Amino acid sequence: MKTHRFWVMWVAALGVLGWFWATDPDGGAQLAVQMQALLWATVATGPVYVIRRALMDRVRSFEAARRAMENPIGAGLVFLGLCILTGMLFVSLSARAAPLPAGAVRYLPTLQAEIEARWPTLAMPSVLAAQVEQESGWKVTATLKTSREEGAGLGQFTRAYRANGALRFDALAETRALDPSLAGWTWANRFDPVYQLRGVVAKNRATFKRLRPLLDDDYNALAMMDAAYNGGFGGVLAERRLCAQVAGCDPDRWFGHVERHSQKSRARWHGYGLSAFEINRQHVRNVMVVRRPKYVAAMGA
Protein backbone atom coordinates (compact mmCIF):
# COMPACT_ATOMS: atom_id res chain seq x y z
CA MET A 1 0.00 0.00 0.00
CA LYS A 2 2.89 2.36 0.86
CA THR A 3 4.47 1.69 -2.51
CA HIS A 4 1.24 2.69 -4.30
CA ARG A 5 1.09 5.97 -2.39
CA PHE A 6 4.71 6.68 -3.28
CA TRP A 7 4.12 6.23 -7.01
CA VAL A 8 0.97 8.36 -6.92
CA MET A 9 2.93 11.20 -5.31
CA TRP A 10 5.73 10.85 -7.86
CA VAL A 11 3.35 10.94 -10.85
CA ALA A 12 1.60 13.96 -9.35
CA ALA A 13 4.94 15.75 -9.03
CA LEU A 14 5.72 15.00 -12.66
CA GLY A 15 2.34 16.40 -13.67
CA VAL A 16 2.89 19.65 -11.79
CA LEU A 17 6.37 20.00 -13.24
CA GLY A 18 4.98 19.43 -16.73
CA TRP A 19 2.49 22.20 -16.15
CA PHE A 20 5.29 24.64 -15.32
CA TRP A 21 7.23 23.63 -18.44
CA ALA A 22 4.14 24.22 -20.56
CA THR A 23 3.70 27.71 -19.13
CA ASP A 24 5.06 30.69 -21.05
CA PRO A 25 8.38 31.52 -19.34
CA ASP A 26 7.73 35.28 -19.51
CA GLY A 27 5.80 36.69 -16.60
CA GLY A 28 6.15 33.63 -14.37
CA ALA A 29 9.74 32.60 -14.86
CA GLN A 30 10.94 33.18 -11.33
CA LEU A 31 8.04 31.28 -9.76
CA ALA A 32 8.53 28.40 -12.18
CA VAL A 33 12.23 28.16 -11.37
CA GLN A 34 11.59 28.19 -7.63
CA MET A 35 8.95 25.48 -7.91
CA GLN A 36 11.18 23.36 -10.13
CA ALA A 37 13.88 23.44 -7.46
CA LEU A 38 11.40 21.90 -5.00
CA LEU A 39 9.88 19.46 -7.43
CA TRP A 40 13.13 18.03 -8.78
CA ALA A 41 13.89 16.48 -5.40
CA THR A 42 10.61 14.56 -5.57
CA VAL A 43 11.06 13.68 -9.23
CA ALA A 44 14.58 12.35 -8.69
CA THR A 45 13.44 10.29 -5.69
CA GLY A 46 11.55 7.80 -7.91
CA PRO A 47 14.49 6.57 -10.00
CA VAL A 48 16.75 6.69 -6.95
CA TYR A 49 14.34 4.54 -4.96
CA VAL A 50 14.00 1.92 -7.70
CA ILE A 51 17.72 1.70 -8.45
CA ARG A 52 18.76 1.70 -4.83
CA ARG A 53 16.16 -0.94 -3.91
CA ALA A 54 17.38 -3.21 -6.69
CA LEU A 55 21.01 -2.75 -5.70
CA MET A 56 20.21 -3.11 -2.00
CA ASP A 57 18.47 -6.42 -2.60
CA ARG A 58 21.48 -7.52 -4.63
CA VAL A 59 23.91 -6.45 -1.94
CA ARG A 60 21.99 -8.32 0.72
CA SER A 61 22.28 -11.49 -1.32
CA PHE A 62 26.07 -11.40 -1.23
CA GLU A 63 27.57 -13.78 1.28
CA ALA A 64 30.14 -11.22 2.38
CA ALA A 65 27.47 -8.66 3.13
CA ARG A 66 25.45 -11.23 5.05
CA ARG A 67 28.42 -12.08 7.24
CA ALA A 68 29.27 -8.43 7.76
CA MET A 69 25.76 -7.74 8.98
CA GLU A 70 26.07 -10.39 11.69
CA ASN A 71 27.92 -7.94 13.95
CA PRO A 72 27.14 -4.30 14.80
CA ILE A 73 30.26 -2.81 13.18
CA GLY A 74 29.82 -4.74 9.96
CA ALA A 75 26.12 -3.90 9.79
CA GLY A 76 26.96 -0.25 10.34
CA LEU A 77 29.48 -0.28 7.49
CA VAL A 78 27.00 -1.94 5.14
CA PHE A 79 24.34 0.63 6.09
CA LEU A 80 26.84 3.47 5.56
CA GLY A 81 27.71 2.07 2.15
CA LEU A 82 24.04 1.99 1.15
CA CYS A 83 23.62 5.59 2.34
CA ILE A 84 26.59 6.67 0.23
CA LEU A 85 25.16 4.76 -2.74
CA THR A 86 21.81 6.51 -2.32
CA GLY A 87 23.49 9.89 -2.14
CA MET A 88 25.58 9.23 -5.24
CA LEU A 89 22.52 8.10 -7.21
CA PHE A 90 20.56 11.15 -6.10
CA VAL A 91 23.36 13.57 -7.02
CA SER A 92 23.88 11.85 -10.37
CA LEU A 93 20.22 12.15 -11.33
CA SER A 94 19.85 15.65 -9.92
CA ALA A 95 22.82 16.97 -11.92
CA ARG A 96 20.80 16.78 -15.11
CA ALA A 97 17.57 17.68 -13.35
CA ALA A 98 18.88 20.97 -11.91
CA PRO A 99 16.47 23.84 -12.58
CA LEU A 100 17.47 26.57 -14.99
CA PRO A 101 18.25 30.05 -13.65
CA ALA A 102 15.39 32.52 -14.03
CA GLY A 103 17.33 34.48 -16.64
CA ALA A 104 17.88 31.33 -18.66
CA VAL A 105 14.16 30.56 -18.66
CA ARG A 106 13.57 34.01 -20.12
CA TYR A 107 16.50 34.40 -22.53
CA LEU A 108 17.33 30.85 -23.60
CA PRO A 109 14.85 31.07 -26.52
CA THR A 110 16.72 34.16 -27.73
CA LEU A 111 20.04 32.34 -27.59
CA GLN A 112 18.55 29.36 -29.42
CA ALA A 113 17.16 31.65 -32.14
CA GLU A 114 20.57 33.29 -32.60
CA ILE A 115 22.28 29.89 -32.84
CA GLU A 116 19.75 28.64 -35.38
CA ALA A 117 20.14 31.79 -37.46
CA ARG A 118 23.92 32.21 -37.30
CA TRP A 119 25.48 28.88 -36.31
CA PRO A 120 23.03 26.06 -37.14
CA THR A 121 25.85 23.49 -37.43
CA LEU A 122 26.87 23.91 -33.79
CA ALA A 123 26.94 20.34 -32.47
CA MET A 124 26.53 21.19 -28.77
CA PRO A 125 24.51 24.39 -28.29
CA SER A 126 24.34 23.62 -24.57
CA VAL A 127 27.96 24.81 -24.34
CA LEU A 128 26.98 28.40 -25.12
CA ALA A 129 24.15 28.35 -22.57
CA ALA A 130 26.52 27.04 -19.91
CA GLN A 131 29.04 29.70 -20.90
CA VAL A 132 26.49 32.48 -20.41
CA GLU A 133 25.63 31.09 -16.98
CA GLN A 134 29.31 30.97 -16.07
CA GLU A 135 29.93 34.52 -17.26
CA SER A 136 26.92 36.32 -15.83
CA GLY A 137 24.44 33.94 -14.22
CA TRP A 138 22.07 35.00 -17.03
CA LYS A 139 21.85 38.54 -15.62
CA VAL A 140 21.49 41.03 -18.49
CA THR A 141 22.93 43.92 -16.50
CA ALA A 142 25.76 41.95 -14.90
CA THR A 143 28.78 44.23 -14.59
CA LEU A 144 32.44 43.73 -13.76
CA LYS A 145 34.19 46.96 -12.81
CA THR A 146 37.79 47.48 -11.69
CA SER A 147 40.20 50.38 -12.02
CA ARG A 148 41.40 49.12 -15.41
CA GLU A 149 38.68 46.80 -16.66
CA GLU A 150 34.98 46.81 -17.38
CA GLY A 151 32.82 43.85 -18.35
CA ALA A 152 29.13 43.97 -19.18
CA GLY A 153 26.13 41.80 -19.94
CA LEU A 154 25.28 38.17 -20.42
CA GLY A 155 28.59 37.38 -22.11
CA GLN A 156 30.68 39.79 -20.03
CA PHE A 157 32.26 41.53 -23.01
CA THR A 158 35.20 43.47 -21.65
CA ARG A 159 37.29 46.51 -22.37
CA ALA A 160 40.53 47.13 -20.51
CA TYR A 161 42.92 50.04 -20.10
CA ARG A 162 46.65 50.44 -19.59
CA ALA A 163 48.12 52.22 -16.58
CA ASN A 164 48.32 55.44 -18.60
CA GLY A 165 44.61 55.26 -19.46
CA ALA A 166 45.06 54.08 -23.06
CA LEU A 167 42.68 51.40 -24.29
CA ARG A 168 44.33 47.98 -24.17
CA PHE A 169 41.52 46.02 -25.83
CA ASP A 170 37.79 46.24 -26.46
CA ALA A 171 36.12 42.82 -26.82
CA LEU A 172 32.77 44.36 -27.71
CA ALA A 173 34.25 46.28 -30.66
CA GLU A 174 36.22 43.23 -31.78
CA THR A 175 33.08 41.08 -31.69
CA ARG A 176 31.02 43.72 -33.49
CA ALA A 177 33.43 43.43 -36.42
CA LEU A 178 32.68 39.70 -36.75
CA ASP A 179 29.05 40.07 -37.86
CA PRO A 180 27.42 42.91 -39.85
CA SER A 181 24.22 42.49 -37.85
CA LEU A 182 26.11 43.72 -34.77
CA ALA A 183 26.87 47.09 -36.37
CA GLY A 184 24.49 48.90 -34.04
CA TRP A 185 25.96 47.45 -30.83
CA THR A 186 28.00 49.94 -28.79
CA TRP A 187 28.90 50.52 -25.17
CA ALA A 188 25.95 52.89 -24.99
CA ASN A 189 23.49 50.01 -25.55
CA ARG A 190 25.75 47.26 -24.21
CA PHE A 191 22.94 45.74 -22.13
CA ASP A 192 20.70 44.93 -25.09
CA PRO A 193 20.08 41.16 -24.57
CA VAL A 194 19.70 40.34 -28.28
CA TYR A 195 22.99 42.00 -29.17
CA GLN A 196 24.65 40.39 -26.17
CA LEU A 197 23.62 36.85 -27.12
CA ARG A 198 24.30 37.47 -30.78
CA GLY A 199 27.77 38.58 -29.74
CA VAL A 200 28.28 35.37 -27.73
CA VAL A 201 27.39 33.31 -30.79
CA ALA A 202 29.54 35.39 -33.16
CA LYS A 203 32.64 35.38 -30.96
CA ASN A 204 32.49 31.65 -30.22
CA ARG A 205 31.71 30.77 -33.82
CA ALA A 206 34.76 32.66 -35.08
CA THR A 207 37.03 30.95 -32.55
CA PHE A 208 35.61 27.50 -33.23
CA LYS A 209 36.11 27.88 -36.98
CA ARG A 210 39.79 28.58 -36.36
CA LEU A 211 40.25 25.72 -33.90
CA ARG A 212 38.19 22.91 -35.43
CA PRO A 213 40.52 22.20 -38.42
CA LEU A 214 43.36 21.69 -35.93
CA LEU A 215 41.57 19.09 -33.80
CA ASP A 216 40.03 15.64 -34.12
CA ASP A 217 36.55 16.26 -32.69
CA ASP A 218 33.98 18.88 -31.78
CA TYR A 219 34.04 18.30 -28.01
CA ASN A 220 37.68 19.20 -27.53
CA ALA A 221 37.39 22.06 -30.00
CA LEU A 222 34.50 23.44 -27.95
CA ALA A 223 36.43 23.06 -24.70
CA MET A 224 39.38 24.97 -26.16
CA MET A 225 36.96 27.49 -27.65
CA ASP A 226 35.72 28.22 -24.15
CA ALA A 227 39.28 28.49 -22.85
CA ALA A 228 39.93 31.05 -25.58
CA TYR A 229 36.73 32.95 -24.74
CA ASN A 230 38.03 33.43 -21.21
CA GLY A 231 41.79 33.59 -21.73
CA GLY A 232 42.46 34.45 -25.35
CA PHE A 233 42.91 32.51 -28.59
CA GLY A 234 46.68 33.00 -28.66
CA GLY A 235 46.94 31.49 -25.20
CA VAL A 236 45.22 28.29 -26.31
CA LEU A 237 47.57 27.93 -29.30
CA ALA A 238 50.57 28.42 -27.02
CA GLU A 239 49.24 25.84 -24.57
CA ARG A 240 48.75 23.30 -27.34
CA ARG A 241 52.37 23.79 -28.35
CA LEU A 242 53.53 23.31 -24.75
CA CYS A 243 51.48 20.12 -24.50
CA ALA A 244 52.94 18.74 -27.74
CA GLN A 245 56.43 19.03 -26.27
CA VAL A 246 55.58 16.80 -23.29
CA ALA A 247 55.66 13.03 -23.62
CA GLY A 248 52.18 11.53 -23.33
CA CYS A 249 50.37 14.86 -23.73
CA ASP A 250 47.91 15.03 -26.63
CA PRO A 251 47.48 18.60 -27.96
CA ASP A 252 44.11 17.59 -29.44
CA ARG A 253 42.62 16.83 -26.01
CA TRP A 254 41.81 19.43 -23.40
CA PHE A 255 41.01 17.60 -20.15
CA GLY A 256 44.02 15.91 -18.66
CA HIS A 257 46.26 17.14 -21.46
CA VAL A 258 46.31 20.75 -22.72
CA GLU A 259 44.62 21.99 -19.54
CA ARG A 260 47.72 21.00 -17.54
CA HIS A 261 50.12 23.17 -19.50
CA SER A 262 50.14 26.95 -19.60
CA GLN A 263 52.24 30.05 -19.27
CA LYS A 264 49.41 31.88 -17.53
CA SER A 265 50.28 33.34 -14.15
CA ARG A 266 49.88 31.07 -11.14
CA ALA A 267 49.90 34.07 -8.75
CA ARG A 268 46.51 34.86 -7.26
CA TRP A 269 44.88 38.05 -8.54
CA HIS A 270 43.94 40.65 -5.97
CA GLY A 271 40.18 40.59 -5.46
CA TYR A 272 39.69 37.24 -7.20
CA GLY A 273 41.35 34.75 -4.86
CA LEU A 274 42.47 32.72 -7.87
CA SER A 275 45.26 32.97 -10.41
CA ALA A 276 44.74 33.63 -14.11
CA PHE A 277 45.56 29.95 -14.71
CA GLU A 278 43.05 28.73 -12.11
CA ILE A 279 40.29 31.04 -13.36
CA ASN A 280 40.73 29.85 -16.93
CA ARG A 281 40.79 26.16 -16.09
CA GLN A 282 37.86 26.47 -13.72
CA HIS A 283 35.93 28.30 -16.43
CA VAL A 284 36.26 25.43 -18.92
CA ARG A 285 35.46 22.74 -16.37
CA ASN A 286 32.40 24.60 -15.11
CA VAL A 287 31.10 25.17 -18.63
CA MET A 288 31.79 21.75 -20.13
CA VAL A 289 31.23 19.51 -17.10
CA VAL A 290 29.35 21.26 -14.29
CA ARG A 291 26.86 23.64 -15.92
CA ARG A 292 26.29 22.19 -19.39
CA PRO A 293 24.25 19.04 -18.47
CA LYS A 294 21.24 21.06 -17.32
CA TYR A 295 20.92 22.61 -20.79
CA VAL A 296 21.20 19.40 -22.81
CA ALA A 297 17.50 18.54 -22.59
CA ALA A 298 16.47 22.04 -23.62
CA MET A 299 19.01 22.56 -26.39
CA GLY A 300 20.22 19.16 -27.56
CA ALA A 301 23.56 17.39 -27.18
286 and 256: one domain? yes
Which of 21-35, 71-85, 156-170 is least confident? 21-35
The pLDDT confidence band at residue 5, using thresholds 50, 70 and 90, is low
Average pLDDT of the residues in 54-71:
55
Q: Quick one: pLDDT at residue 13?
A: 55
Average pLDDT of the residues in 222-247:
97
Give the phi and the psi of residue 133 in degrees, each rounded to 5.
-60, -40
pLDDT at 48 over 90: no
The pLDDT confidence band at residue 23, using thresholds 50, 70 and 90, is very low
141 and 272: one domain? yes
Q: Quick one: pLDDT at residue 76?
A: 55
Q: How many domains does the chain have?
A: 2
The pLDDT confidence band at residue 29, using thresholds 50, 70 and 90, is very low
Task: For the chain, give the percent of residues with pLDDT over 90.
Answer: 58
281 and 231: one domain? yes
Last residue within a domain, chosen from 97, 129, 145? 97
The pLDDT confidence band at residue 92, using thresholds 50, 70 and 90, is very low
Provide the residue range defining the domain that includes 264. 102-299
124 and 81: one domain? no
Last residue within a domain, chosen from 59, 76, 97? 97
Q: Quick one: pLDDT at residue 20?
A: 47
87 and 119: one domain? no
The pLDDT confidence band at residue 69, using thresholds 50, 70 and 90, is low
Domain CATH number, residue 256: 1.10.530.10
110 and 25: one domain? no
pLDDT at 16 over 70: no
Last residue within a domain, chosen from 38, 63, 97? 97
SS3 159: strand
Average pLDDT of the residues in 85-96:
48
Which of 25-29, 94-98, 172-176, 234-238 is least confident? 25-29
Q: Quick one: pLDDT at residue 94?
A: 46
Closest CA to 292 of 138, 158, 127: 127
142 and 280: one domain? yes
The pLDDT confidence band at residue 179, using thresholds 50, 70 and 90, is very high
66 and 109: one domain? no
120 and 212: one domain? yes
117 and 160: one domain? yes
Q: Quick one: pLDDT at residue 33?
A: 40
Q: Quick one: pLDDT at residue 38?
A: 47
pLDDT at 25 over 50: no
75 and 136: one domain? no
146 and 191: one domain? yes
